[in-house]
Amino acid sequence: MGKRISCLAGLMLCLVCGPASATTFTAQVTDQDGKPVVNAVVTLVAEGRNPPALSPRLEAEKVIDQREETFIPLVTVVPRGGRVVFANNDTTKHHVYSFSPIKQFEITLPQGVKSPAFVFDKAGIATLGCNIHDHMIAYVYVSESPWTAMTGRDGKLSIADVPPGTYEAELWHPQMPPGAPPPNEPVTVSGNSVTYVAKVKLLSPPPLMHSHSAHY
């Protein structure tokens, strides 16, 4: 597994011109077999613009639940400066931790208890685990861009009211090969709508990720 596996990034931009001053950006993400990819995060990074300290377009506080020895959801998106609360609605105690550079913490969470809100003030990706149940894993994607969204089961997402301009479309998924640079494509936003189509190679999920494996 040490061999670096390159991502397959395919891009197709379709522009429908119109008089609107803001654009609806949509994306379709598929894997190497042409299947829709759920939990893929696409971020539009505006060139030459300073991101807001806290994006009003992204929900500022999210809850990550724990049920049947599983973090729900697998991927949580918050803006930089956003907050995450951990809830334990399982039948056992959990020990939640993150050793990621953007956020490090460890908490013991008894059954039926919610944690205080944790502030994620650095952009990047925090990987979560449980010291009691090693197969439990989840991710917090902290974005500086207000134009960030995550695909559903159909592999699609939509971001409304994107100002016209030039952006970099950055794509991330937890099963992308470690160390491989994420697909990063220039996008020109204009007119009423822009559609971004990407194809990415993903690794198989870890065997013990039984609860999330059917949905990436």
**How high is the pLDDT of residue 207?**
62
How many other C-beta atoms can be found within 10 angstroms of the C-beta atom of residue 134? 10
pLDDT in tens, 105-148: 999 999 999 999 999 999 999 999 998 898 999 999 999 999 99
Among the four given CATH numbers 2.60.40.420, 3.50.50.60, 2.160.20.10, 1.10.10.10, the one describing domain 61-143: 2.60.40.420
Percent of the chain with pLDDT over 70: 81
Dihedral Cα 192, 194, 154, 183, nearest 10 deg = -160
Contact yes or no for 169/42 (Cβ under 8 A): yes
**How high is the pLDDT of residue 181?**
79
Mean pLDDT of 204-209: 68
The domains of the chain are located at: 13-50+146-199, 61-143
Distance CA 80, CA 163 (A): 20
Q: Give yes or no on whether 13-50+146-199 and 61-143 have one common fold.
A: yes
Q: What is the average pLDDT value for the chain, to the nearest integer? A: 85
The larger pLDDT score, comparing residue 104 to residue 210, is at 104
Distance CA 57, CA 159 (A): 10
Using CA atoms, how far residue 92 sits from 64, 69, 108, 202, in Å, is 16, 8, 11, 32
**DSSP symbol at 102:** T
Q: State the number of CA atoms in the 13 A half-sphere of 130 facing the CB.
A: 26
pLDDT at residue 13 tops 90: no
What pTM value is reported for the model? 0.84
Which strands make up the sheet holding 94-100, listed edge to edge?
75-79, 137-143, 124-130, 94-100, 103-109
Dihedral Cα 196, 64, 178, 147, nearest 10 deg = 30
Residue 109 pairs with which residues in a beta bridge? 94
How many other C-beta atoms can be found within 10 angstroms of the C-beta atom of residue 45? 18
The CATH code of domain 13-50+146-199 reads: 2.60.40.10
Strands (E), the chain: 13-16, 23-30, 41-46, 61-67, 70-72, 75-79, 82-88, 94-100, 103-109, 118-120, 124-130, 137-143, 148-150, 156-162, 165-172, 184-189, 193-199
The larger pLDDT score, comparing residue 207 to residue 57, is at 57
Mean pLDDT of 81-97: 95
Q: Which stretch of 34-38, 85-89, 122-126, 179-183 has the lowest confidence by average pLDDT?
A: 179-183
**How high is the pLDDT of residue 136?**
94
Confidence of residue 54 (pLDDT cuts 50, 70, 90): low
**How high is the pLDDT of residue 214?**
37
Confidence of residue 9 (pLDDT cuts 50, 70, 90): very low
Q: What is the three-class DSSP state of 105? A: strand
**How high is the pLDDT of residue 132?**
87
> Most confidently modeled of 11-20, 28-37, 176-185, 199-208?
28-37
* 180 CB-near residues (< 8 Å, 6+ apart): 4, 5, 6, 7
